[in-house]
Structure 1
Amino acid sequence: MQTQAGDDLIERIRTHSADGDVVGPAANDLLSELFKGYPVENLGRLLHSGDDATVRTGTWLLSELGDLAAPMMAEVPALLAHPLRQVRFFAVEVVLMNGDARHGSTIAQVLKLSEDPDDAVRWKVLQFLDAASTDQLAAGASFLEAGRLRELADWLVLQETHGPDPRGVVARLEAPDPVTRLFGAAAAARLSDEETSLLEHAATVEDGEIRSFAQERLSEPR
């Protein structure tokens, strides 16, 4: 019966993908079914539908499932490269919750999205860089080609494996390159549990995205 309910919801989403009044409640009901044990693999019907709106709904569901989405990690590289920004955004969350040493190339894709033209996606990547484990970051960095992004990723890992570099954080926060500033902000946030001065500095920089992120992090309860 549970399988039938989930199947029906998937077909409803596929059939009415452009109707938010139908898809919204159906997606929430499907999420409940997934938490009850409906096979997450069945979301492949949404992800491979060929319809952008349906793929977006499927990716949102994955992003809400936490580690229950792990069996679908093989689908994530395509989602991270999807033309729809919401799909890329939600896919980053899936990697954060499920990526490990086996998914280094997928994590590297997330790191590359620090260069994404969409500000919402870059914001999500910054949240990833802040929240990801050191092992996740190291796994992703190892799959990056030599160059600026690899250097930034390696440097971010070194902040925890070899001790913080406050001057380096400040220099990156004030760099002319926006990607460098993003990694500087991530370092400031990751170090803020013990020292908030770097994050406080990030909250004053000219870059509006970095400033807003830092201000939001500083406002979180500690």
Structure 2
Amino acid sequence: MQTQTGDDLIERIRTHPADDDIVGAAANDLLSELYAGYPVENLDRLLHSDDAVVVGVGAWLLSELVELAAPMMDEVPALLSSPIRSVRYDAIAVVLENADERHGPIIAQVMNLSRDPESGVRWKVLEFLTEASIEQLEAGASCLPPGQIKELAEWLILQDGEEPDPGGIIIRLEAGDPVTRLFAAAAAASLADEENTDLLEHAAMVEQEEIRSFAQERLSEPDEPIT
């Protein structure tokens, strides 16, 4: 059967029936069209919808496109501020893959989501803080206002230097503040390697759900690089 064109698929998603299977199939077909060269800018017709399902599909598509989503970075701040949990989650993935030194305010916005009320979003922030380049972290930190998150971001950057502070990481993992623990867990994951997983194992014992599950996932993949 001939694949529908990108325009047709977008309209099908925008006028979706109450059937997740149909919407999912159209979204997957549209993803293939995007990889084949259909302009990613056309996703603004999904991202600007008043329908939460439609916006969610648009954000998911951007997260799946990896670097092909770069032309849509101007849309990301609104997605990071969305009331829809999955949209915020997917937008963080877009930032990780596409942000550079020019996107400091957007990276700072991701860092501020370390206070998000949803554990799943905080988990994605933790992944971002672990996987982001030093250049990305520095760009974000430079755009944060004075306060706790800026201080933690600058501390996290220092852990990539020649003299990281394992003791400070453990102290912060045991701190009562959940945001401090999140940044400490990112430092623990960033410093872990196949020979030394002590800090990551410590993070896996933290009661905070997103930290514990993130660390346990990292530790359960011994055949994969931890950092």
Where on the TM-score scale, by shorter chain, does this alignment land: which range? over 0.9
| Shift in Å, 1:50 | 1.9
- 2:145 counterpart letter in structure 1: E
User: Partner of 1:182 in structure 2?
Assistant: 182
Partners of 1:192 and 1:53 lie apart in 2 by: 38
Alignment map for 1:66-85 (pairs within 5 Å): 66-85=66-85
Matched residues in 2 for 1:161 and 1:143: separation? 21
Identity fraction in percent? 68
Q: Which amino acid aligns with 2:19?
A: D
Query: What is the CA-CA distance between 1:42 and the residue it aligns to?
Result: 0.3
Give structure 1 stretches of 5+ with no counterpart: none
1:203 equivalent in alignment to 2:204: yes
The corresponding residue for 2:140 is 140
Q: Report the Cα offset of residue 162 of structure 1.
A: 4.6
Q: Deviations over 1:22-48 (max 9, x none)?
A: 210000000000000000000011011
Q: Is the 8 A contact 1:17 1:54 kept in 2?
A: no
Structure 2 gaps of 5+ residues are: none
Partner of 2:119: 119
**CA shift digits 1:40-78 (9 cap, x unpaired):** 000011011222111110000000000000000000000
- Match of 1:63, SS state, is helix
Distance 1:85 1:174 in 2: 28
For residues 17 and 160 of structure 1, what CA distance do their matches in structure 2 show? 49
SS in 2 for 1:75: helix
SS state of the match for residue 175, structure 1? coil
Asked whether the equivalents of residues 110 and 125 of structure 1 are also in contact (C-alpha less than 8 Å), the reply is yes
Change (3 A) 1:20 1:10: same
Q: Residues of 2 paired with 1:68 and 1:84: CA distance? A: 23
Q: Find the counterpart in structure 1 of residue 128 from structure 2.
A: 128
Where 1:117 maps in the other structure, the secondary structure is coil
> Which residue is 1:150 aligned to?
150
Residue 209 of structure 1 deviates from its aligned partner by 2.8
Please tell me whether residue 64 in structure 1 is matched to residue 88 in structure 2. Answer: no
Q: CA RMSD in A?
A: 1.6
TM-score relative to the length of structure 2? 0.93
Q: 2: distance between equivalents of 1:81 and 1:111?
A: 12
Deviation of 1:202 (Å)? 1.2
Shift of 1:218: 0.8
Conserved? CA contact 1:18–1:53, under 8 Å: no
Describe the shift of the 1:74–1:17 C-alpha distance in structure 2 as closer, same or farther (beyond 3 A). farther
2:163 aligns with 163
Pair 166,74 (structure 1): closer, same or farther in 2 beyond 3 Å: same
Q: Which residue type is aligned with residue 96 of structure 2?
A: L
Structure 1 equivalent of residue 48 of structure 2: 48
Query: 2:188 touches 2:200 (CA, 8 Å); kept in 1?
Result: yes
What's the offset of the Cα at 1:216? 1.0
Tell me how far apart the structure 2 counterparts of residues 78 and 19 of structure 1 sit (CA, whole Å): 27
Deviation at 1:206, TM superposition (A): 3.1
On the 8 A contact 2:120/2:210 being kept in 1, the answer is: no
Structure 1 residue 208, shift from structure 2 partner: 3.4
1:17 Cα shift?
A: 6.1
Kindly tell me: are residues 18 and 98 of structure 1, through their superposed partners in 2, closer, same or farther at Cα, counting changes over 3 Å? Answer: farther
Q: Judging by fraction of residues, say which structure has more helix.
A: 1
Q: Is the 8 A contact 1:17 1:53 kept in 2?
A: no
**Partner amino acid for 1:163?**
E
Residues 1:217 and 2:218 aligned together:
yes
TM-score for both structures, normalised by structure 1? 0.95
